[in-house]
Structure 1
Amino acid sequence: MPSSRTPAWFLPSLLAVTVTAALVAVPQAGEPAPSSSTVPLAAEQPKPAQGKTAQGKPGTKPRPDARDVVLAVHGGAGAALDRETTTPAREKAYRDGLARALRAGQQVLDRRGSSLDAVEAAVKVLEDDPLFNAGKGAVFNADAAHELDASIMRGSDLAAGAVAGVRSLRNPIEGARLVMEKSRHVLLAGEGADDFGQRHGLTTVTQDYFWTQARWDALMRAKETARGSKTAAASPEALADEQSKGTVGAVAVDGRGDLAAATSTGGLTNKLPGRIGDSPVVGAGTYAKNGTLAASATGAGEVFIRGAATSTISNLMEFGRLPLASAAYEVVVKRLPALGGDGGVIALGPDGDFDAPHSSPGMLHGYLTEDGTVVTKVFPDESPANS
């Protein structure tokens, strides 16, 4: 239901927020890049929800990570970035990537646009960034090809669309939305999905568009590992790439209280051709329902499918009457690891409660609050794994 608060996007354009450590400075459109000056973290970091205890501390009651959130994104679960091997420039690149996605979504919300438009805009930015495993940064499959998956869902009426195994759509999330709005189906796969997008005017590319050195090196290392070789060396850039493997996604709530979620991925390095994970599966990798939550998942796709991860969180909220953080914790931290896989979700409620539980060592993610503050988390100690 719509919030009684006056949403921030009804106010004049917000100033860019200068951040450091867990926050990142991002210029508004048309503004010059900020200088190296920063403000103390305490001056910018939003206060956690009242009574929140440290994430990952055994025996603590799950609490939302933040309140008054209108948009959140993730860049994949895994080991996140390692402080010992990640250069300041590399750290900044990841923070900037997450923040650009948040600002793209914010521009939609500032215009009183829909949450659906906001999550699509945010995910497109991440798909265009080669640092993330989606779109331009997609990993290679075992045949040294790229097969991409994406899905999108609107919480007001449970409308959803998805594409799987596409090879020529530059932005698979656009294909997912097209399936939702221009077909009577929910999921199209392979050549049919590519052709459907092309017929409706989506930008298409050849496979070499998705090629990056870091992803190629990751494929070579994966194949050497599969052959039993232990000699494959990794450059600092390739190591950082490996540490940030995963999926991208976004969740949002707009001024009408409508929720939306979107997820996009290149899948697993060296995966079998035709493999489809949870990202394009509604109820597993993506779910949005007004009154409960919008959620986007990242992690062990097969396990998230088997556990119907995101829809189960919603069901625990609706039928089990659990609060958002407790429901997300129950699924991501307690149930899914028991099935043999780890990962995380970003989960946003209609009241602005936000949580990002994960059983993996880390999860790249960030969020935007009503007052325009951007928070990004790229190191494991910024968002410790829940236990």
Structure 2
Amino acid sequence: MNPKPSSPSFNAGYGAVFTHEGTHELDAAIMDGATLRAGAVACVSRVRRPLRAARAVMERSEHVLLVAAGAEAFAQACGLELVDPAFFSTDARRTQLQHALSTDKSMMDHDGAALVFRASNTLAAPLLESSKLGTVGAVALDRHGNLAAATSTGGMTNKRCGRVGDSPLIGAGTYADNRTAAISCTGTGEVFIRGVVAYDICARMAYGGQTLDVAAHEVVMKTLAALGGRGGLIAVDAQGHLSFPFNTEGMYRGHARLGEAPQTAIFAEGRARIK
């Protein structure tokens, strides 16, 4: 019996985008800022919860990154749940793939989704789908001052099989260091890789003395934009300051602190640092 699917609202796990061949290849990474230990998986198609596999790589192996069949075999050996690859499929994502195939282009989630959901919904979405980012990311600071970051994604619609984006690459789309910050990115993966975006922000803080907000905004609004990259990130530093820069119309995001009500935002009005 197949397990009950989770929400397909974002491009990770159930509801992930299709490759050019009509398959799914999922990526995920996690990093512990206290020890700089990290784990990641890429191009998996049967692991129901890729982030759990990434954590297993970090905690139960001597490696950082495992891919494809090897990553799936490791996950199975660790007792993690495997599913039929069709588990991740949705009709909306299949329609998105068909349009991408007709144009012979790869699409980020927020570009292709517009072609699916606008036609079927009579009410406007909170954020235009052409500017929505679908990667799922999380950053955290605990009461002991330890930082952590995690990122999970299905990649780009119509991507070539075997393509790996920034999400599972430590330093590009995911990074955490107790001395500086925890960061999770979303957007044009190839450009985030070229800019080593997550690590660049931490390096600016460590070696240049920049605050998290200044470093994050300079990288996203200047460095990333200069390379033609679109996207954003979520970040928290060792003092608990937050930063959510993005150079698209908006980015779904939220944060919670002990003893305070959770807060969420979509558009740029909420991009300033929240204390």
Q: Same fold (TM over 0.5)?
A: yes
1:357 to 233, 236, 245: 245
In the alignment, the residues of structure 2 paired with residue 129 and residue 290 of structure 1 have an alpha-carbon distance, to the nearest angstrom, of 32
**Residue 332 of structure 1 pairs with residue 216 of structure 2:** no
**Residue 136 of structure 1 pairs with residue 24 of structure 2:** no
Change (3 A) 1:139 1:363: same
1:311 equivalent in structure 2:
199
2:167 to 279, 300, 321: 279
In the alignment, the residues of structure 2 paired with residue 243 and residue 222 of structure 1 have an alpha-carbon distance, to the nearest angstrom, of 17
Larger Rg over CA atoms? 1
CA-based RMSD of the aligned residues comes to 2.1
- Alpha-carbon deviation of 1:193? 0.3
1:375 to 255, 258, 263: 263
Of 207-216 and 217-226, deviating more is: 217-226
The unaligned stretches of length 5 or more in structure 1 are 1-126
Task: Give the aligned residue type for 2:61.
Answer: S
- Alpha-carbon deviation of 1:255? 1.1
1:163 equivalent in structure 2:
41
1:181 equivalent in structure 2:
59
In the alignment, the residues of structure 2 paired with residue 289 and residue 355 of structure 1 have an alpha-carbon distance, to the nearest angstrom, of 16
2:210 equivalent in structure 1:
322
Runs (4+) of structure 1 exceeding 4 A deviation are: 237-243, 381-385
Contact persistence 2:221–2:246 (CA under 8 A):
yes
1:212 equivalent in structure 2:
90
- Alpha-carbon deviation of 1:243? 5.0
In the alignment, the residues of structure 1 paired with residue 253 and residue 268 of structure 2 have an alpha-carbon distance, to the nearest angstrom, of 13
- Alpha-carbon deviation of 1:372? 2.8
Change (3 A) 1:236 1:305: same
In the alignment, the residues of structure 1 paired with residue 69 and residue 258 of structure 2 have an alpha-carbon distance, to the nearest angstrom, of 41
In the alignment, the residues of structure 1 paired with residue 121 and residue 144 of structure 2 have an alpha-carbon distance, to the nearest angstrom, of 43
Task: Give the aligned residue type for 2:163.
Answer: R
The unaligned stretches of length 5 or more in structure 2 are 106-114
Describe how 1:56-135 pairs up with structure 2 within 5 A: 128-135=6-13
* % identity of equivalent residues: 49
In the alignment, the residues of structure 1 paired with residue 192 and residue 177 of structure 2 have an alpha-carbon distance, to the nearest angstrom, of 18
In the alignment, the residues of structure 1 paired with residue 53 and residue 177 of structure 2 have an alpha-carbon distance, to the nearest angstrom, of 21
In the alignment, the residues of structure 2 paired with residue 205 and residue 128 of structure 1 have an alpha-carbon distance, to the nearest angstrom, of 13
Task: Give the aligned residue type for 2:58.
Answer: M
Change (3 A) 1:242 1:332: closer
**Residue 266 of structure 1 pairs with residue 154 of structure 2:** yes
Change (3 A) 1:237 1:250: farther
- Per the alignment, in what secondary structure is the counterpart of residue 139 of structure 1? coil
2:110 equivalent in structure 1:
none
In the alignment, the residues of structure 2 paired with residue 342 and residue 145 of structure 1 have an alpha-carbon distance, to the nearest angstrom, of 25
1:223 equivalent in structure 2:
101
1:200 equivalent in structure 2:
78
In the alignment, the residues of structure 2 paired with residue 222 and residue 356 of structure 1 have an alpha-carbon distance, to the nearest angstrom, of 29
TM-score by length of 2: 0.87
What do the CA deviations read for 1:14-49 (whole angstroms, capped 9, x no partner)?
xxxxxxxxxxxxxxxxxxxxxxxxxxxxxxxxxxxx
How many residues in Structure 1 have an aligned counterpart in Structure 2?
A: 254
- Alpha-carbon deviation of 1:325? 0.2
2:111 equivalent in structure 1:
none
- Alpha-carbon deviation of 1:370? 2.9
1:235 equivalent in structure 2:
119
Contact persistence 1:362–1:383 (CA under 8 A):
no
Task: Give the aligned residue type for 1:318.
Answer: A
Contact persistence 2:39–2:63 (CA under 8 A):
yes
